[in-house]
Amino acid sequence: MDVIQPTPCSYCPGKITAEEKKMLITALTEKIERIFKEIKSCEWSGDAPEASAMLEVKEEYENLLKRIEGW
């Protein structure tokens, strides 16, 4: 029986094209900026728990962005 090897695709880490990487970085950067604005809005309205939760999400996106930039 022949073993079929999966072909590398552009959706595998390290196998994306430069254009795809650029698009991912741009999308994540924009998402981080939107979350930052939401955090500021929550802080201004006095909703500290929501701001704290959103800060954690923002940090996760920033970590993901760093990983992608390192590919």
- Residue 1 pLDDT: 43
Work out the percent of the chain whose per-residue pLDDT is above 90.
Answer: 23
Contact, 42 vs 50, CB < 8 A?
yes
User: For residue range 12-44, what is the model confidence (pLDDT) as tens digits?
Assistant: 655 678 888 899 899 999 999 999 999 888 888
- Residue 30 pLDDT: 93
- Residue 46 pLDDT: 86
- Residue 26 pLDDT: 93
pLDDT of residue 70 exceeding 60? yes
Position 56: which residue type? E
Q: Which of 34, 33, 39 has its CA nearest to residue 56?
A: 39
